Structure 1
Amino acid sequence: MNEHEMTGEQGRPIRSAGVRLVPSAITVLAMCAGLSAIKMALDGSVGLAIALIGAAALLDGVDGRIARLLDATTRIGAELDSLADAISFGVAPAIVLYVTLLTGNNFGWVVALIFAVSIVLRLARFNTLIDDTEAPAYHKDYFVGVPAPAGGLIALAPLAAYAQWGAGWWSSFPLVVIWMVIASALIVSRIPTLAMKQVSVPPRMAVALLISVALMAAGLVTYPYILLIAVVFLYLAHIPYAVHTKRWVAARPETWHIPPAERRALRRSNAQRRSLARLGLRRSKPRGRSSRVAGRGRAR
C-alpha cells in the first residue's frame, strides 16, 4: 500500500481522491468527444464527426469498468455518465445527422428532436430500473431496449455509408428519416438486448476471438466506415437471439441465479436433445414393469 492509500475499518483500502476521479474524468472526455463531433460536422469534417462519436462510445464502455476495478463507483459518477450519454449519443448524433443529411428540411429537424428525446427517455428509464431491487437476478444480463451508445452508432449508419460511397439511396432523405425513426423506436422499446459486460467467451473460442479482434483492427485502419456499418448490422442481428434467450430464462426460474455461461450450456444440451428426438435418435427409455408384463402377455 502506498502513501496515497489508507486502510478502512475493515482493512479495505480507501482510494485517494485523485484515483476516484479517474472514471469521471473519462466520462467528461467522452462528453467532450461528443460535443466536438458537432463542431466537426459543422466544419464539414464528416469522418471526424463519426470518429469522435465512436471514440465517445469506447470511452463510455471503459469508464464503468475502471470505476468497478478501482472501487470508485459513486452516485455522482452515475449521474454524470447519464448526462454525458445524453449529449454524446443523443444530442450529438441528432445534430450531426441534421447538418449533413437532413439539413434544409424542417421535418428533418423534427426527426432529430425525436431521436434525441428517445435517448433521454431511455436513460431516464435505465436510471429507474437500477433501483429496482425486486427484479429477478437474470435481468442484469439484459438491457431494456437498445442502450444509448449502440443507439447513437446505429443512427450514424447512413452517414457512414455516405462517407464511404458518397451520395446514394442510402443517404436519401426518406431513408435517413425512416432509419432514425426505427432507431428511436428500438431505443425506447422494451425489446431485450444483451449486456456486453455479462457476455463471456469460452476458452475454446479464445483463438477465434483474437483473430476477430485483429480483423476489426485492420478494418478500423483500412475501411472504418464499412466496419461501423458491419458492426451495426451484427448488433441488430443479435436482437432476436437476445429475445429468445430472455424468454427461455424467464420461463425457468431455477436458472435465474445460474451464470450466463452455464445457462448457455443448458440451452445447447436441450437443443441437442430436441434435435435427436426429431431425428428419431433419442435413447429408448428402460422398460418398466408394465412393459415386462405386456411382454409376457405377448409371449404367451
Structure 2
Amino acid sequence: MTEGRNQARHNRPAVTSNEQSPPIRSAGVRLLPSAITILALCAGLSAVKFGLEGRIGLAIAAIGAAAILDGVDGRIARLLDATTKIGAELDSLCDAINFGVAPALVIYVTLLHGNNGGWIVALVYVVAIVLRLARFNVLTDDENAPAYRKDYFVGVPSPAGGLIALAPLAAWEQWGTGWWTSFPFVAAWTVGAAALIVSRVPTMAMKQVSVPPKMAALLLIVVALVAAGTITYPYVVLVALVLVYLAHIPYAIHSKRWVAARPETWDIPPGERRALRRSSAQRRSLTRLGMRRSKPKGRSSRVAGRGRSRR
C-alpha cells in the first residue's frame, strides 16, 4: 500500500509556475472586517436608543463596545489582507455615527437638554468629529509623508474622543450629581474634547506601541487588574482611563518633536527609536551632572585664588 502511494505521488503531474492556485480566502472571510464595522454601527445606534430611554449605563457600554470593535476591524483586515477602499469609507462613516452622533445625543438628552446652549454644544462636538475623520482620510492618502507619521495621530482619534466626552456621564453614574454634572462643566468638557479632536496635537497610535519582553508580565498584570476593575467598577475605570489618556498627550508632543528634529530616525522601527531617545536622555542627564560637579571645583579654585591675591 505504501509503495502504491509512492507510485501515485511519483506519477502525479508537477504543478508548474504558470498554473494559478485557487484563491485561499473566500469572499466571506474578506467581508469579515466590514461585518465587524457594521456591528460597531449597530452598537452606536443602540447607544442612542438606550440614551433616549434613560438607560445611561447601557448607552456607555454600547459606545465602549463600538470602540472595541472599531479597533478590531482594522487589525483583522490587515491580518487577512482584506483592506479595501469601501471598507475604509465605511469605517469613517460608522465612526462619525458611533463616536460623533451617538455620544452627542446621549450627552444632550441627559445633561445638556435643560439649557438653550446645550444643542449648540452637541453640534460643535459632532462637527469636530466629522472634520477630524475627513482630515484623517486626507492624511492617510498622503504617500509623501515620513514613515514616523504612522506612529502618531493628528489630534485625538474619534473613538478616544467619544469616550472622553462620556466621562461626565460615567462620573454621574458612579457618584451621582455634582459639579461634574453642572451645565458649565459638561459644556466646557465637551467643547474641550471637540477642540482636542480637531486640533493638530499629536497622540500616540496604539497599534505602533510595542512592549519590551521584560515588561510583558507586568503588562499582563495591569490588563488583568483593568479587566477586574471594569467588571466591578466600570465607570471608575472609564474615568481613570480617560485621565491617563489625557496625561499622555505631553509625552506624545515631546516624542514627536524629538523624532521630527532627527530625520535619520524616521525610517527605523519605533522600538529602536525609543531606545535611541532613552540613551540620548541618559547622556544629557550625565552631562548635566558632570557640569554641576565641575562648578564647585571652579568656584573653590576661584576663592582660593582670591585668597592668595589678598595675601
Give TM-score scaled by structure 2 length: 0.86
Within 5 A, what are the aligned runs for 1:132-147?
Answer: 132-147=142-157
1:213 and 1:44 map into 2 onto residues whose CA distance is 31
Indicate the residue corresponding to 1:297 in structure 2: none
1:118 maps to a residue whose letter is A
Indicate the residue corresponding to 2:94 in structure 1: 84
Pair 1:265–1:48, CA change in 2 (3 A): same
Count of aligned pairs between the two proteins:
276
Indicate the residue corresponding to 1:18 in structure 2: 28
> Over aligned residue pairs, what C-alpha RMSD do you find?
1.7
1:272 and 1:141 map into 2 onto residues whose CA distance is 23
Partner SS state of residue 279, structure 1: helix
8 Å CA contact 1:8–1:14 kept in 2: the answer is no
Partner SS state of residue 117, structure 2: helix
Within 5 A, what are the aligned runs for 1:224-243?
Answer: 224-243=234-253
Partner SS state of residue 207, structure 2: helix
1:32 and 1:8 map into 2 onto residues whose CA distance is 45
Indicate the residue corresponding to 2:51 in structure 1: 41
2:31 and 2:24 map into 1 onto residues whose CA distance is 13
Q: Which structure shows the higher helix fraction?
A: 2
1:104 deviates by 2.4
Question: Please, which of 66, 71, 76 is the counterpart of residue 61 of structure 1?
Answer: 71
1:152 and 1:257 map into 2 onto residues whose CA distance is 32
1:220 and 1:45 map into 2 onto residues whose CA distance is 18
List structure 1 segments (4+ residues) > 4 angstroms apart after TM superposition: 7-14
2:265 maps to a residue whose letter is T
8 Å CA contact 2:115–2:183 kept in 1: the answer is no
Question: Please, which of 99, 105, 109 is the counterpart of residue 109 of structure 2?
Answer: 99
1:278 deviates by 1.3
Question: Please, which of 157, 161, 174 is the counterpart of residue 151 of structure 1?
Answer: 161
Give TM-score scaled by structure 1 length: 0.89
1:233 maps to a residue whose letter is L
Instruction: Note the residue ranges of structure 1 that are not aligned, 5 or more in a row.
Output: 1-6, 283-300
8 Å CA contact 1:115–1:180 kept in 2: the answer is yes
2:47 and 2:74 map into 1 onto residues whose CA distance is 22
What do the CA deviations read for 1:56-76 (whole angstroms, capped 9, x no partner)?
000000000001111111000
What do the CA deviations read for 1:261-297 (whole angstroms, capped 9, x no partner)?
1011001111111111111189xxxxxxxxxxxxxxx
8 Å CA contact 2:129–2:158 kept in 1: the answer is yes
Partner SS state of residue 290, structure 2: coil
What do the CA deviations read for 1:105-161 (whole angstroms, capped 9, x no partner)?
221000001001100000000001111011111001100000000000000000000
Indicate the residue corresponding to 2:178 in structure 1: 168
Pair 1:167–1:130, CA change in 2 (3 A): same
State whether structure 2 residue 194 is matched by structure 1 residue 184: yes
What do the CA deviations read for 1:165-218 (whole angstroms, capped 9, x no partner)?
111001110000000110000000001001100000000100110000000011
2:81 and 2:18 map into 1 onto residues whose CA distance is 13
Indicate the residue corresponding to 2:205 in structure 1: 195
Partner SS state of residue 143, structure 1: strand
Question: Please, which of 209, 233, 249 is the counterpart of residue 223 of structure 1?
Answer: 233
8 Å CA contact 2:129–2:197 kept in 1: the answer is yes
2:222 maps to a residue whose letter is S
Indicate the residue corresponding to 2:304 in structure 1: none
